[in-house]
Structure 1
Amino acid sequence: MTIDELVRRTLRDWSDEARVPSDLASRVLRRRRRSGVKAFAVVAGATAAVVAGALTVPALVQKGQVDDSRSAVVVLTEPSPSAETVGDPESAPPRTLVAAGGTAVYSYYVWDQVKISDDRQVLTRAWSLYDKGGQTYEQTPWAWLDVAPGGESVAVLEQVPARRVGVVTGRGGEVRWIDLERPAGAVRWSPDAKKLLVTNYGGNPDESYVPVNNSQKMMPTSRTGYTVVDLDSGQSAFHALEPDENNRFGGRQDFSWSTDGTLVWEHNSTPPGTKKFYDLDGNPRPGPPGAAETYEAAGVSPDGRWIPAQTPDKNAAMALKDVRTGEVLSVKPIDGQWIEQLVAWADDGHVITWACESKGFNSCVGSEFRNRLLLVDVNGGEAVPLTGYRENNQKPGSWEPVFTRR
């Protein structure tokens, strides 16, 4: 039996048995505004690592726990050196690989909203990862996952919140569990794949109140701080950090890595649309040039030149600010597409965006929530569809991609 056949058989077995518990995911989608700085509406709203090859983790989830008696099956391939643009413009979520330049979508999640009491609900996620052998995305059982740059390892949480984080490395590797001082609600790999950044919560950050008369009351966040785990030594250090009480989104307030891995950051409410940076010991620090100025998920371009900006041109679909000169570059609508969010850089001259079909300035055909991933040339030269349209990203069953440098 080949390794591909083994993976597919295991996946079939797992799909018959596994259940994703109703209390395992997160509440983080945010309604975007059509003017000003748009909030990035996914928990992976900053740095999100993904597998750089085929990766499946079909360990069973039963009663919210992973069966440690069964090894996690992980099939990893070498990172692709190709900068070829590939996509699945007819499907949402995609069935085949989505990648452009130095960035790829090797995982995504589909979210659902589950009512757990008369006045409370929880957002759950079903995570899928790209399987190179089958050349498609396959669902996994984890409540949270993040894959290291280069695709050699994956960090997982069994549930949210969790008292330990799991790391799976290599072909057929077993889960290495690391106990935590404080419960974890999210985990992210450092850019050098040597550390984990854990956001700690006292409760489930994905719970929210059930809306009443179309009014959403936000639940206070239970965030307690963050933990940095050194994987070589297995040592971890918790840093208490008060949550931003002015954050109108409440609930989940995750930390993310800076591009070089020397700092961590969170979204800032004052002034709105900015970021706050800290060193690895919890001390406030200034951010890299331009990085603190943008709320958009794409952040600073790989060469450090561009950041998303507000455009002075009312007819422009998006704008970029040159960090060095302050010059603002306006990009016109391309091929009937209206650009809504900048979510990841493919390379220095191309950015991946959410875009809708345009019917005029600041207006979309049908709804602004019907959109697809689009690769855009910052000079306005071309736009390449990467996925099909998701019909409404504000409703259960919608999908959210995660990105990494490949």
Structure 2
Amino acid sequence: MTGPVEDALRVAVHDLADGVRPAPDLAVRALGRGRRLRRRRRAVAAGAALVAVVAVALPFVLLRPQPAPHPARPAPTATATPAPPARPMPGPDWSTKPLVLPGDWVVTAGTFAGGAGKGFVLDRARGRYLTAEGYDGVFPAPVGALSAVTDKDRPREVALVDLARGTTRWYEVGRALSAPEWSPDGRRLLLTTHRLDHFGFIIMAADGTKRTFRVDEKRYFCTDYCDFTWSRDGTEVVLPQTGQSSSDESVLRDLRAGVRLFSADDGRPSRFVPVPGDPAGPWAWSPDGKLVVVQGQHDPLLVETGTGRVVRTLPTADVVWVSDDRLLYRRPYGARDVVLADLTGRELVRQPLPKELVEREITVAPR
């Protein structure tokens, strides 16, 4: 049974319901707001990741620490990581003596990458820096008084400059050459030849004598970045080997199966190391040979040489191992200080660079 009051109430409810119309764009607005929130979260995450990345422009690297687990709520009060001790800024007379870096390495050159321009090169005999100008590439040996130089007007040649004697001698090496790379002992130069009729590497001694070794491109398949580099002890040279599948995206490097090592004495293949990327040079290998830093398809990687296991990702593949547990790197932004770090990424010492070197690419070597 219903009474007049119930009937009136029912009529009022129906009238109110008939007056409510669905908002056709309600779902669109909700989805749009969801997308905006997701974009905002991605932007915040990307910004945080950018701030966290530390890379280098030379043979240096700082290992990125492993991500810390999320703290339980409520989160404890954050504490700032103390800055490492900073050495004083070099004075205006910095070029009158070797610039010693943390880890007891020195700056051997400061030049502009990929082109001619005024630079500096260390004259070890006099213990000071000389002006380097007029060459397209300057490559000081890690020890001794020699520097290799290149000139785009002499593409088939490499010159050896003896800073102690003040002599320059040009040597014809070949065509389609890579930039020269010194062996760790400073006695030999390694160049890759990319000629159409053959592929291989050239070893040139300090007296200008050279040997050319051909490498079978079909058997030792390499695409993308295919320059030979030295091993840590200078007895072998290293060539990246492309994997079975390569990247379809031009922004990505080709996938690597590992690196093939060849004897620097007779050019014969010696061994295969299953690391998924390209070492930047001899200093990318740890002194004990157990670890190597490579540029992977996506990221720079710290890898075990025996197994190819990736230990962690890194900000850069350009690395100098000062010891088995110490690395030297250069900050990519701001003043671009040089930093000594341990394998966890903890910074131990910072070294500011003089303003004349901040915009230049620097080369370093043991003191």
TM-score by length of 2: 0.54
- State the match for 2:364 in structure 1: 403
- Native 8 Å contact 2:56 2:315 kept in 1: no
Deviation of the 1:257 alpha carbon:
1.4
Structure with the largest fraction of strand: 1
**CA shift at 1:344, angstroms?**
0.8
Alignment match of 1:124 (pick from 88, 94, 115): 115
Contact 2:294/2:317 (8 A) holds in 1: no
Aligned-partner residue type, residue 303 of structure 1: D
- Note the C-alpha offset of 1:149: 3.1
Q: Is the 8 A contact 2:110 2:361 kept in 1?
A: yes
Q: Where do 5+ consecutive residues of structure 2 fail to align?
A: 1-48, 61-84, 245-254
Map 1:243-392; keep pairs closer than 5 Å.
Answer: 247-248=223-224, 253-270=226-243, 272=255, 274-280=258-264, 281-287=266-272, 292=275, 295=278, 297=280, 298-308=283-293, 320=302, 339-341=315-317, 343-355=319-331, 372-379=337-344, 381-387=346-352
- Structure-2 separation of matches of 1:376 and 1:161: 41
Structure-2 change in CA distance of 1:275 and 1:108 (3 Å): farther
Distance 1:222 1:328 in 2: 37
* Cα distance between partner residues in 1 of 2:111 and 2:163: 23
Q: Which secondary structure does the structure 1 equivalent of 2:329 belong to?
A: strand
Question: 2: distance between equivalents of 1:246 and 1:199?
Answer: 13
1:191 pairs with 2:184: yes
Instruction: Kindly indicate whether residue 129 of structure 2 is the aligned counterpart of residue 152 of structure 1.
Output: no
Q: Deviations over 1:50-95 (max 9, x none)?
A: xxxxxxxxxxxxxxxxxxxxxxxxxxxxxxxxxxx9977699xx97
CA distance in 1, matches of 2:294, 2:260: 18
Counterpart CA distance in 1 for 2:186 and 2:325 is 26
CA distance in 1, matches of 2:364, 2:236: 19
| One-letter amino acid of the counterpart of residue 383, structure 1 | L
Q: Compute the displacement of 1:129 (Å).
A: 1.5
Q: Secondary structure at the match of 2:156?
A: strand
Partner AA of 2:341 in structure 1: V
1:179: how far off? 2.6
Deviation digits for residues 216-256 of structure 1 (CA, Å, limit 9, x no counterpart):
xxxxx998432222345x4322223467986345xxx4322
Residues paired across the two proteins, number: 265
Q: Distance in 2 between matches of 1:137 and 1:387?
A: 20
Query: Cα 1:128–1:309, aligned 2, differ >3 Å: closer, same or farther?
Result: closer
Q: Which residue of 1 aligns with 2:158?
A: 165
2:170 to 168, 177, 181: 177
User: Alpha carbons of 1:143 and 1:322: their partners in 2 closer, same or farther (altered >3 Å)?
Assistant: same
Match of 1:68 in 2: none
Deviation of 1:379 (Å): 4.9
Q: Is the 8 A contact 1:339 1:354 kept in 2?
A: no
Structure 1 pair 355–170 and aligned structure 2 pair: CA distance change class (3 A): closer
Q: CA deviation at 1:100?
A: 2.9
Higher RCO, Cα 8 Å, sep 6+: 2
Q: Is 2:221 the counterpart of 1:236?
A: no
RMSD (CA atoms): 4.8
1:104 aligned onto 2:106 = yes
Asked whether the 8 Å contact 1:301–1:347 carries over to 2, the reply is yes
Q: d(CA) in 1 for partners of 2:88 and 2:229?
A: 29
1:151/1:200 Cα in 2 relative to 1: closer, same or farther (>3 Å)?
Answer: same
Deviation (angstroms), 1:347: 2.0
Paired residue secondary structure (1:192): coil
Aligned pairs for 1:73-92 (under 5 A) are none
Q: Deviations over 1:82-115 (max 9, x none)?
A: xxx9977699xx978252325333113223xxxx
- Contact 1:309–1:328 under 8 Å retained in 2: no
For the residue of structure 2 that corresponds to 1:186, the secondary structure is coil
Which amino acid in structure 2 is aligned with residue 144 of structure 1?
Answer: G
Is there any run of 5+ residues in structure 1 with no aligned partner, and where?
1-33, 47-84, 112-122, 203-220, 311-317, 332-337, 358-365, 391-396
**Contact preservation (8 Å) 2:59, 2:318:** no
SS of residue matched to 1:286: strand
Q: In 2, are the aligned partners of 1:166 and 1:178 still within 8 Å (CA)?
A: yes
CA distance in 1 between partners of 2:106 and 2:175 (Å): 32
Q: 1:158 to 1:97 in 2, by over 3 A?
A: same
Instruction: Summarize deviations over 1:245-304 as a string: whole Å, max 9, x none.
Output: 86345xxx43221122221123444273543322234433315x67x4553545221233
Identity %: 23
Which residue does the alignment assign to 2:201?
Answer: 226
Question: Which secondary structure does the structure 2 equivalent of 1:108 belong to?
Answer: strand
**Paired letter, 2:233:** D
Deviation at 1:351, TM superposition (A): 0.3
Structure ID, larger Rg? 2
Higher helix share: 2
- The answer for the alignment partner of 2:77 in structure 1 is none
